Amino acid sequence: MTLEMGQADRERLLAEVLAGRVPDARGRFGPFGGRYVPETLIPALERLERGVREQLHREDFQAALGSELTTWAGRPTALTRAGRLSSRWGAEVWLKREDLAHTGAHKINNAIGQALLARRLGARRIVAETGAGQHGVASAAACARLGLPCTVYMGEVDMERQAPNVGRMRLLGTTVVAVKSGDRTLRAAIDEAIRDWVSDPLHTYYLLGSSIGPHPYPYLVRELQAVIGREARAQMLAQAGGLPDAVIACVGGGSNAIGLFHAFVPDASVEIIGIEAGGRGRGLGENAATLAFGRPGVLHGCYSLLLQDEHGQVQETHSISAGLDYSSVGPEHALLLATGRARYDTATDAEALDAVKECCESEGILPALESAHAIAGAKRWAERHRGGRLLIGLSGRGDKDMSTLQQTLIARLAAVSS
Positions annotated as catalytic residues are 107, 129, 395
E strand map for 349-408: 389-394
Distances (CA, A) of 123 to 48, 101, 297, 304: 11, 26, 31, 29
For 338, residues 6+ apart whose C-beta sits below 8 A from its C-beta are: 3, 5, 10, 13, 30, 31, 32
3-class secondary-structure state, position 243: coil
Nearest to 257 by CA among 395, 102, 372: 395
Amino acid at residue number 180: K
Distances (CA, A) of 158 to 113, 165, 251, 282: 25, 10, 18, 22
Distance between CA 144 and CA 108 in Å, rounded? 13
Distance between CA 396 and CA 398 in Å, rounded? 7
Sign, CA torsion 157/158/164/167: negative
Distance between CA 328 and CA 186 in Å, rounded? 11
For 412, residues 6+ apart whose C-beta sits below 8 A from its C-beta are: none
- H-run or E-run covering 250: strand 246-250
Q: Are 254 and 260 in contact (CB under 8 A)?
A: no
Amino acid at residue number 141: A
Q: How many CA atoms lie within 13 A of 288 on its CB side?
A: 29
- CB-based burial of residue 178 (10 Å sphere; 0-12 exposed, 13-18 middle, 19+ buried)? middle
Amino acid at residue number 128: A
